[in-house]
């Protein structure tokens, strides 16, 4: 005679279904791994930011033979894609380069906009590629652009909500605040996971344009690749850190619910 729910789950010939205890143990292990990985990921994130600055500073001193400035290269890429209405503006801080989809503006730091260095053409082409993605109306781009202003504001509310949830004496109030914090953080994770492939694609588009149009020779291309890899690494680590923090938050959520 066979006893227990586990045996019943194998009646159809499939694999046995995990019990509630096994599921809890598996989730606890995930929360533990997430918690342990946060510190190394944070350290890796700091390393990645330091590295991208060092690579940028070094490659900024290497001029390309063709002498096309970052601003000129971005303008050429945009015009070739029919995006003549997208503006290019200079900004003061280094590594503040970005594309603003709400205003249709590619913003380049002065060292990038006015330089014809290996670093400048890599970064300028990458940001122009983001504008091209936006102009192509990719679904992922629309999702990211729609989420960006919400995510930026949500990040400021998560910690206060968690503290309020912990301090509140009422179980209902605690659950409410923590639930809201978990939902907001899930939105941040989704944002990072949507953004990461777009960053990888933008780097690929930038590199392909530079190669196909002879903007840099083989040696210079190696430098461009290093700059783009260093920048993308920061996004990869940021996404991994967001996922780890989310699972750690879920662990806290389970503790507060018990």
Q: Which one has a higher pLDDT value, 19 or 98?
A: 98
Angle, helices 139-154 vs 171-212, to 10°: value is: 140
State the Cα–Cα distance between residues 196 and 13, nearest whole angstrom. 41
pTM: 0.81
133-169 per-position pLDDT tens digit = 999 988 999 999 999 998 988 888 887 887 777 677 5
Q: Which residues are catalytic?
A: 127
| Radius of gyration over every alpha carbon of the chain, rounded to an integer in angstroms | 24
167-215 per-position pLDDT tens digit = 775 666 677 887 888 899 999 999 999 999 999 999 999 999 999 999 9
Helix (H, G, I), strand (E, B) or coil at 107: strand
> How much is the pLDDT for 251?
74
**Contacts for 11 with CB less than 8 Å, ≥ 6 apart:** none
31-73 per-position pLDDT tens digit = 666 667 778 888 998 999 999 999 999 999 999 999 999 999 9
């Amino acid at each position: 005679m066979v006893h227990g729910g586990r045996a019943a789950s194998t009646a159809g010939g499939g694999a046995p279904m995990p019990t509630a205890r096994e599921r809890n143990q598996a989730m606890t292990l995930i929360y533990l791994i997430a918690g342990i990985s946060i510190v190394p990921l944070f350290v890796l994130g700091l390393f990645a930011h330091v590295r991208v600055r060092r690579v940028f500073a070094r490659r900024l001193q290497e001029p390309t033979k063709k002498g096309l400035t970052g601003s000129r290269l971005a303008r050429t890429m945009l015009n070739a894609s029919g995006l003549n209405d997208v503006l290019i503006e200079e900004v003061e801080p280094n590594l503040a380069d970005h594309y603003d989809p709400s205003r249709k503006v590619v913003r380049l730091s002065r060292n990038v906009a006015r330089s014809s260095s290996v670093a400048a053409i890599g970064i300028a082409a990458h940001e122009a590629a983001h504008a091209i993605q936006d102009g192509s109306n990719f679904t992922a781009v629309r999702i990211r652009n729609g989420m960006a202003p919400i995510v930026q504001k949500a990040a400021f509310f998560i910690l206060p909500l968690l503290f309020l949830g912990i301090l509140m004496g009422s179980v209902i109030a605690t659950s409410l605040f923590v639930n809201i914090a978990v939902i907001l953080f899930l939105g941040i994770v989704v944002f990072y996971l949507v953004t990461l492939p777009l960053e990888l694609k933008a780097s690929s588009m930038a590199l392909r344009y530079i190669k196909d149009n002879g903007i840099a020779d083989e040696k210079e291309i190696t430098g461009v690749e290093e700059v783009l890899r260093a920048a993308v690494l920061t996004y990869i680590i940021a996404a991994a850190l967001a996922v780890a923090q989310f699972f750690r938050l879920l662990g806290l959520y389970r503790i507060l619910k018990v």
